[in-house]
Amino acid sequence: MAILTEKDVENIKKAGRIAYEIKQMIQKMIRPGVPYIEIAEKVEETIRSKGGEPAFPCNISWGHEAAHYSPYWEDTRKVPDSGVLKIDFGVMVKGMLSDTSVSIDLSGENEDLIKAAQDALDRAISVIRPDIQVWEISSVIEKTIKSYGLKPVSNLTGHAMEPFRLHAGVSIPNVSNSSRISIRPGMLIAIEPFTTKGLGYVVNGNDVNIYSFSRPLDKKGRRLAGRLASMLDKIYEERRGLPFSERWLMSASKGRKITIDYIRETLKTLATRRYLIDYPVLVEPTGLQVAQAEDTILVLEKEVIITTRPGF
């Protein structure tokens, strides 16, 4: 667990404030027919304009997609008329992170899913304190979701975060478990309940557009990266293990005569050779709707701060 300085705490709070402000913006943006790519780029551009960087590419997952759909280069998808739309995004300020989400019921038919996820999040946050054990938080989440007659998604979890690391080793499941790991002062955690009427777990879909480094490029890796080598070196220098997307590489490659097909094949090769980790879209296998709620919490000795909400 990283030791936080006063400056680190200040940057964590700033990352949270930016995320909260963008959540308010998103609520006003979403309506049927709005292009996904317009939403994602507006979110990412606004993060930068406020003094942060995206912690990961903006996720826009609809319906049975639970997570990890980020618009492709020249993506043609638009917000549909019905279903649950999840906007999941994060902010980095000098390596310090926030992670949050918004779920929107586009047709008024899935309010129970969103309400259960939000209630589970609120109740979980209410019990968080120094030295609480993970199983206690998870139990609250599961019981709350099941009280609505719904299922928590068992293989998606909350997580601890450290500088430049979204998933820092400690997971906080949405179902009861035997974890005796304690939440210690100085920990930054994301709590993210997912709800569904489906099977209660997700599987990998076909789409992949998000990657992160598992290790920096060595001589062999740079040879495999070809014309992307210098851009990927810069991404690793600036982001270390934080995720990025093919869309970002295409934007950065303007004027270099690099095609999107070349980028996709190169990233796939680097993932196969284990220089990169790929993140397939995660889907509910029966096709039923999934909702999500998420906030970031900083646990200190004498204070628990919900960084992605107002009032601190």
- Which amino acid type is present at position 95? G
Whole-number Cα distances in Å, 166 to 5, 96, 156, 272, 273: 19, 10, 14, 22, 23
Q: Which residues are catalytic, by number?
A: 88, 99, 159, 167, 192, 294
Mark out the alpha helices in the chain (DSSP H runs): 6-29, 36-49, 111-127, 134-146, 219-225, 229-239, 246-252, 260-272
Structure tokens at 294: 């998420």
Residues in the chain: 312
Structure tokens at 28: 């006003």
CA 201 to centroid of chain Cα atoms: 17
Structure tokens at 169: 């080793």
Name 300's bridge partners: none
